[in-house]
A and B are shown apart, each in its own frame.
Chain A
Amino acid sequence: DAGVTQSPTHLIKTRGQQVTLRCSPKSGHDTVSWYQQALGQGPQFIFQYYEEEERQRGNFPDRFSGHQFPNYSSELNVNALLLGDSALYLCASSSLSSPLFGPGTRLTVL
């Protein structure tokens, strides 16, 4: 089992652009959560998807949106990128268990 996988590994965008990040959960996991981690800080919860619906949301603007597909994989979309959106974006999957984190996508906004 490959665990949680994320793509791409690294991404460079410019201000105002839009980005889509992808996550495949661990086999058997049906819940996907997204976190943003600034350099040297702890991850901050963005939102969580279960049964293809957003179940919980953290304190992030509407520029951050997501989707979960029938196979439980998920996407995180960020519109109108700002310099402050530069961070490591982590996906975590779970199913009545402790979340398992993927390696993250490093997003740099120039």
Chain B
Amino acid sequence: TQLLEQSPQFLSIQEGENLTVYCNSSSVFSSLQWYRQEPGEGPVLLVTVVTGGEVKKLKRLTFQFGDARKDSSLHITAAQPGDTGLYLCAGLRAGGTSYGKLTFGQGTILTVHP
């Protein structure tokens, strides 16, 4: 059972374009995290969102947590080739007592062409 549905699975765009990646679930999460992963490396944490409706910005990246804490989005403005990579959302289930057991989406492979 895939608890976190991430879309789109693949995204190929030109430099300068904007894009949005979505992460949806029928389950409530106490927190949701976004990671970026390069080939052959482990995921690197970009942001953690905790409060429903929360919006966080990291340079050209904007992250939003849904009001009901069931969904999240990642928006990239003016994408650059250096943004290319695998983007993963991961949630910690509400009521969980551990910070280690994350449920991941299947990932979005982003390619930004010069």
A interface residues (Cβ-Cβ under 8 A, vs B) = 4, 31-33, 35, 40-45, 48, 50, 55-56, 58, 88, 90, 92, 94-104, 106
Provided the pairs A41-B107, A42-B6, A42-B106 are in contact, do residues A33 and B101 lie with their beta carbons within 8 angstroms? Answer: yes
Binding stretch for chain A, among B38-46, B58-66, B68-76: B38-46
**Residues of B participating in the A interface, judged by any CB pair closer than 8 Å:** 4, 6, 33, 35, 40-45, 48, 86, 88, 90, 98-107, 109
Question: In the complex, what residues of A have CB within 8 A of residue B4's CB?
Answer: 42
Contact A98 to B99, CB < 8 A, known contacts A42-B104, A42-B105, A42-B106: yes
Shortest B102–chain A CB gap in Å is 7
Main secondary structure, interface of A, reads strand
Closest to B47 in A: A98
Inter-chain contacts of B42 with A (CB < 8 A): 4, 90, 92, 101-104
Q: In angstroms, how far is the closest chain A Cβ from the Cβ of B85? A: 12
Q: Which of A41, A43, A96 contacts B99 (CB 8 A)?
A: A96
Task: Collect the chain A residues with CB atoms within 8 Å of residue B45's CB.
Answer: 98, 100-101
Please state if B40 and A45 are interface contacts (CB–CB under 8 Å).
no
| Contact, CB under 8 Å: B107 / A40 | yes
- B97 CB, min distance to chain A CBs, angstroms: 9
Q: A43-B43, A90-B42, A100-B45 are in contact. Are A48 and B100 (CB under 8 A)?
A: yes
- Which residue of the partner chain B has the closest CB to A95? B99
